[in-house]
Amino acid sequence: MFEAVAFYLFAFLTIAMFFIAVTTSQALYALTALAAGMIFISAFFFILGADFLGAVQIVVYSGAVMALYAFGMMFFDTTRDVKEKNGNKYIVIGLSVISAILVVAIFSAPIVSENITALYPMVEGAGNTQEVGLVLFTKYLVPFEVAAVMLLVAMIAGIVLAGKDMDLSLTLLDDKEIEEIKNKKMKKVL
């Protein structure tokens, strides 16, 4: 009973938050709503017994990602109202709803649910964090390391991209502009 109440409550909250995030015309509202939605999602993880995942969700999304977005927004003019697309609304909503229905149809198809067996069954008596650790550092060790490298690369890429002079693209400039930039650099060195 408690589970049902919690599920419906958080489901309503998440949907509402995300709905605001995609519909509002204020970037700041959207950011706030998204952050709230992320935290509400972690609630589902806790309900489902994936404690570690829930913790990671809060730390990564609400902490790191949202902080990054907030930081990124400082570069842009966020006070202005975001212009909406003038395209056909029905197409947008129609396509989304159809795809949603199709996904449900696939998940609820008997052929899928009948053939699933647990590859890495949960260990009885161990906490979720221990279980995750066991699986992650045995079976998924290599993907885990690859993911780590990927994050490192992404970090370096983020720093470099946001760095100086990265807005100049040599392929999009003509010879004259490239020459000017070179001269500028020469002067600085001198």
Partner 1 sequence: MELYLYLALFAPLAGSLFAALFGASPKTIVAGLVPSILLFVSFVSSTILLVHILSGGAVVHVEMMTWMATGDLYIPFGFVVDQVSVTMMMVVTVVSTVVHFYSVGYMDHDKGFNRFFSYLSAFVFSMMVLVMSDNFAGLFIGWEGVGLCSWLLIGFWYHKESATWAANEAFIMNRIADLGMLIGIFLVYWNTGTLQYEQAFAAMPALEADILTLMGIFLFIGAMGKSAQFPLHTWLADAMEGPTPVSALIHAATMVTAGVYLVVRANPLYDLIPHVGIFIASLGAFVALFAASMALVNRDMKRIIAYSTLSQLGYMFVAAGLGAYWVALFHLMAHAFFKALLFLGAGNVMHAMHDELDPFKMGGLKKAMKWTFIMMTVASVALAGIYPLAGFFSKDLILEVAMIEHHYIIYSVLLFTAGLTAFYSFRLVALIFHGEERYKLFGVHPHEAYKFMLIAMSPLLILAVIAGSFKMTYFEMVTAVLPATEYHVHSALAYWIMTIGTQLFVIAAIAFAYKKYARSGITVPDGTSKMENRLCYKILSNQYYIPYVYEEYLVKPYRELSTVFWKQIDMKVVDATVDGIAGIIYGTGEKTRDMQSGNLSTMLKWMVAGTVGLLSLAVVFGLAVRYSVEIKAILSGLGV
Partner 2 sequence: MEIGLNHYLILSTILFAIGLIGVMRRKNLLLLFFATEILLNSVNIAFAAISHFYGDLTGQMFAFFVIAIAASEVAVGLGLLIVWHKRHGTIDLDTMSTMRG
Closest CB to partner 1 among residues 89, 184: 89
**Residue in the structure block whose two tokens are 């500028």:** 184
Q: Can you tell me the distance from the alpha carbon of 17 to that of 9, in angstroms, rounded to the nearest whole number?
A: 12
DSSP 8-state class, residue 74: T
Residues 66-85 binding partner 1 (CB under 8 A) are 85
Closest CB to partner 2 among residues 143, 183: 143
Q: Can you tell me the distance from the alpha carbon of 44 to that of 3, in angstroms, rounded to the nearest whole number?
A: 10
* Residue 23 found at the interface with partner 1 (CB under 8 A): no
Assigned token pair, 160: 């470099």
- HSE-CB for 99 with a 13 A CA cutoff: 5
* Residue 110 found at the interface with partner 1 (CB under 8 A): yes
Quick one: residue 168, left, alpha or beta (phi over 0 = left, psi -120 to 50 = alpha)? beta
Binding mask 99-138 for partner 2 (x = CB under 8 A): xxx-xx--xx----x--xxxxxxx--------xx--xx--
Residues 29-88 binding partner 2 (CB under 8 A) are 30-31, 34, 37-38, 41, 44-45, 48-50, 52-53, 56-57, 60-61, 64-65, 68-69, 72-73, 75-76, 82-85, 87
* Residue 188 found at the interface with partner 2 (CB under 8 A): no
Contacts of 73 (CB under 8 A, 6+ apart): 27, 28, 31
Q: Min. distance of Cβ 9 from partner 2 in angstroms?
A: 12
Residues binding partner 1 (CB under 8 A) = 85, 87, 91-92, 95-96, 98-99, 102-103, 105-106, 109-112
